[in-house]
Chains A and B, each alone.
Chain A
Amino acid sequence: MNTTLNELKKGQSAKIIEFKNPETRLQSARFGIEVGQVIKCIAKLGTVVIQKNQQQIAIGKGLSKEILVKEV
């Protein structure tokens, strides 16, 4: 089932389905994060911290609401 990134619980992994905000999509591409990849939520502080391989990225709540993911 699809949800948004901010709905993930700590420790949950999910596949990125869509970036609703195109600016975020481009910035993510630079960070090495893109649609189709599996990420893991490693901290939830209102702000979400995700991990992909060795890389960790902190995403504010406002942005994380606009990122569609699918739990895996």
Chain B
Amino acid sequence: MSLLSCGGCKGCSANQKIKTDGKLLNIALVGNPNVGKSVIFNALTGYYVEVSNYPGTTVDTPTADTSFGKLIDTPGIYGIGNHNDEEIIAKNIVLNSDIIVNVVSALSLERDLFLTLQLIDMGFPLIVVLNQYDEAISNGIKINSEILEKHLGVKVITAIATKNQGICQIKDFLINNSQITSGIVSDYLKNFIADENLEKVKRIEIISELESDFDKKEVIYSSRRKKINKIIENILSTKENDFTISGYLGNLLLNPVAGVITAAFVLFALYQVVGVMVAGNIVDFLENKILLKYYFPFITNIINSIIPSGSINQILVGEFGLLTMTFQYILGLLLPLVFSFNLFMAILEDSGYLPRLAALTDRFLTKLGLNGRAIIPLILGFGCITMATITTRILGSQRERTIATAVLGLIIPCSAQLGLIIGLIAIAGGLKAWLIYLITIFTILTIVGTVLNKILPGESTHLFIDLPPMRLPLFKNVINKTLSKTKHFLIEATPLFLLGSLFISILQVSGSLIFIQKALAPLTVNLLHLPPETANVFIMGLIRRDFGAAGLAGMAGLNGGIAVLNHSQIIVSLVVITLFVPCIASVVIMFKERGWKEASLIWIGSWVSAFITGSFLSNVLRIFM
């Protein structure tokens, strides 16, 4: 077997067989998660890639026009079916494809061939890319791809995508696509499909039908596995397992002690990068050195020269102006935060760390009616609640999505807020303040999760995930992922920010803002023992949480203001602002994701929990501090 990388690809278009009336062929990259689809996609397409969210989901489906057809990357799936968003999307893409490039990992061929056989059974013209062959070799696995070809009846190309090996061969096959065949349909289907030459669409229909019938599906699945076992016996040889760093690291991370230490370290690094470096230094630079210095005077001058004063002027360039504050929030604050956060997450994701973290936290999360998978939206929540709320879609049941959304809405502070919280806690007395704050928030988290778990009907799903090997993330892959996530977040969030600012500007211009501030004052003074001005902070927090936290920072004397809050008052108001309602953007997303009933309950619940906890804490602290 030759694994040499080739120089230039041959590229001749004489042998094109499969054609669709002058249009580009649709070619889909299909495979299990983490087998290298995206790396291969990038290698085949270069930079001109259109990444789009599949309508109504967070699932990315990059496409690119190439000389050999329109190439589409699909989300990782273990089989074609309707188990989850990913499968439904992949299925739709597959159904519209002329050719399928099925990527399998040499490291987990037994698992991956299930999808391969399913695709072959459905009659698609197919080539198989046997990727990650380097990892197989270092694990002592040898695979005879020629025999595999004979069993499957399709071309098998061995590849190491990260070293660009095998890519040219794939390209050549896609260009001279007359050699791409449909494979040998399995014997076990003969009992179900009488006519061997059934056309593609019919055949897919029949198979989908069969697989929606539980008993027939069982028969097919177990026959398919038998066939795979036979193939594997014939093509695969293993030596005694060699030691690999990836294997050692992967297992170490599953050790409770090492796992917890690593998790703490990762969170600390996240906090240093996103919380301190980006939220602090970079945001500060963008806001103070660029936006406030150059952009604000510039835009305010222009608007003032056209509309010197009045409501419109206020709405455009006033305190909450669409062209001032909103612009500042989106570009100065959110863009760097979301980008850096997504970058961090992409690295964690590509390294194979996240699924291990999910396994590690599964037990605790089960007590809250969630399972380990929920760790992903929860961590994302520390970056941005809006982004995280959308990600709750990956959870297995409605009740889990409800619980996760509630926890996000009620408890998790977003990165914009986190930076300010950290600064304020430093003022309020360091370690002691940290402990009081963390214990309070953690207690509320446990109470909310446990109570919802008790009262919500139905049952939560259990963790059942595949742990990919630990790998060194690939720079290009990570950057691509980060850019596409960031772009989609901005597209989704910007209109909401504009609406939110418009709303509060109108409140201000119409004089309602002052009125609400007065109405809230008794709550803050009597219940929380805070000065009356704190009401302003909560109003601001209604719009954006970090907005509220920024207001608090002023009252605590953080940025040169006069301190009007004492230490325990700072802690109380921090707890309240953390538990208080999520920002308008996340509330809107909450309504969209969970429906108005649930979303309003969560919204009202956050008022109640914030003020009850704050009042309780304030009384306790008055006794002890």
Residue in B217, B255, B355 whose beta carbon sits within 8 Å of that of A26 in the complex: B217
B466 touches A56 (CB 8 A): yes
Most chain B Cβ neighbours within 10 Å, of A25, A29, A47? A47
Residue in A55, A58, A62, A63 whose beta carbon sits within 8 Å of that of B359 in the complex: A58
The reply to whether the CB of A24 lies closer than 8 angstroms to some CB of chain B is yes
Given contacts A26-B218, A26-B221, A53-B110, contact A43 B254 (CB under 8 A): yes
Q: Contact flags (1/0) for A3-32 with B, using CB distance below 8 Å? A: 000000000000000000010111101111
Most chain A Cβ neighbours within 10 Å, of B228, B355, B464? B464
Residue in A32, A46, A54, A62 whose beta carbon sits within 8 Å of that of B114 in the complex: A32
Residues of A close to B139: CB separation below 8 A: 54
Residues of B close to A34: CB separation below 8 A: 222, 225
B363 touches A47 (CB 8 A): yes
Residues of B close to A30: CB separation below 8 A: 78-79, 111, 114-115, 221
Interface size band for A: 20 to 34
A46 touches B362 (CB 8 A): yes
Residue in B108, B222, B372 whose beta carbon sits within 8 Å of that of A32 in the complex: B108
Q: Is chain A's binding surface mostly helix, strand, loop or mixed?
A: mixed
A32 touches B110 (CB 8 A): yes
Residues of B close to A57: CB separation below 8 A: 464-467
The reply to whether the CB of A59 lies closer than 8 angstroms to some CB of chain B is yes
The reply to whether the CB of A72 lies closer than 8 angstroms to some CB of chain B is no
Given contacts A49-B467, A55-B466, A57-B465, contact A42 B362 (CB under 8 A): no
B217 touches A47 (CB 8 A): no
CB distance from B440 to the nearest CB of A (A): 26
The reply to whether the CB of B251 lies closer than 8 angstroms to some CB of chain A is yes
Residue in B108, B358, B360, B366 whose beta carbon sits within 8 Å of that of A55 in the complex: B108
A58 touches B465 (CB 8 A): yes
A29 to B227 alpha-carbon distance, docked (Å): 12
CB distance from B118 to the nearest CB of A (A): 9
B363 touches A46 (CB 8 A): yes
B469 touches A54 (CB 8 A): yes
Given contacts A54-B107, A55-B110, contact A45 B362 (CB under 8 A): yes
In chain A, residues 47-70, which have Cβ atoms closer than 8 Å to a Cβ of chain B?
47, 49, 52-63
Given contacts A57-B466, A60-B462, A62-B462, contact A47 B372 (CB under 8 A): yes
CB distance from A7 to the nearest CB of B (A): 16
| Chain B: interface residue total (CB-CB under 8 A) | 42
A59 to B465 alpha-carbon distance, docked (Å): 7
The reply to whether the CB of B381 lies closer than 8 angstroms to some CB of chain A is no
Given contacts A31-B78, A54-B139, A57-B467, contact A42 B107 (CB under 8 A): no
The reply to whether the CB of B93 lies closer than 8 angstroms to some CB of chain A is no
Residues of B close to A58: CB separation below 8 A: 355, 358-359, 362, 372, 463-465, 467
Residue in B222, B463, B465 whose beta carbon sits within 8 Å of that of A29 in the complex: B222
Residues of B close to A63: CB separation below 8 A: 462-464
Q: Contact flags (1/0) for B209-242 with A, using CB distance below 8 Å? A: 0000010011001101100100000000010000
Residue in B110, B255, B462 whose beta carbon sits within 8 Å of that of A61 in the complex: B462
The reply to whether the CB of B141 lies closer than 8 angstroms to some CB of chain A is yes
Most chain A Cβ neighbours within 10 Å, of B218, B222, B463? B463
A29 touches B110 (CB 8 A): no
Residues of A close to B78: CB separation below 8 A: 27, 30-31
The reply to whether the CB of B371 lies closer than 8 angstroms to some CB of chain A is yes
CB distance from B109 to the nearest CB of A (A): 9
The reply to whether the CB of B250 lies closer than 8 angstroms to some CB of chain A is yes
Residues of B close to A22: CB separation below 8 A: 214, 218
Residues of B close to A47: CB separation below 8 A: 359, 362-363, 372, 463
Q: Contact flags (1/0) for B457-477 with A, using CB distance below 8 Å? A: 000001111110100000000
Residues of B close to A46: CB separation below 8 A: 362-363, 366
Residue in A29, A54, A59 whose beta carbon sits within 8 Å of that of B462 in the complex: A59
A47 to B225 alpha-carbon distance, docked (Å): 26
The 25 sampled A-B contact pairs (Cβ below 8 Å) are A26-B218, A27-B83, A30-B114, A31-B466, A32-B111, A32-B114, A32-B228, A47-B362, A53-B110, A53-B238, A54-B469, A55-B110, A55-B111, A58-B358, A58-B362, A58-B465, A59-B462, A59-B463, A60-B362, A60-B371, A60-B372, A60-B463, A60-B464, A61-B363, A61-B366
| Besides A29-B221, A43-B254, A61-B363, 16 new A-B residue pairs in contact (Cβ under 8 A), listed by A number | A27-B78, A30-B111, A34-B222, A45-B259, A47-B372, A47-B463, A52-B110, A54-B107, A55-B111, A56-B250, A56-B466, A56-B467, A57-B464, A58-B372, A61-B362, A61-B462
Q: 7 tightest CB-CB pairs across the interface, nearest first?
A: A60-B462, A46-B363, A32-B111, A60-B463, A43-B254, A58-B359, A47-B362
Residues of A that sit less than 8 Å from B by CB: 22, 24-27, 29-32, 34, 42-43, 45-47, 49, 52-63
Residues of B that sit less than 8 Å from A by CB: 78-79, 83, 107-108, 110-111, 114-115, 139, 141, 214, 217-218, 221-222, 224-225, 228, 238, 250-251, 254-256, 259, 355, 358-360, 362-363, 366, 371-372, 462-467, 469
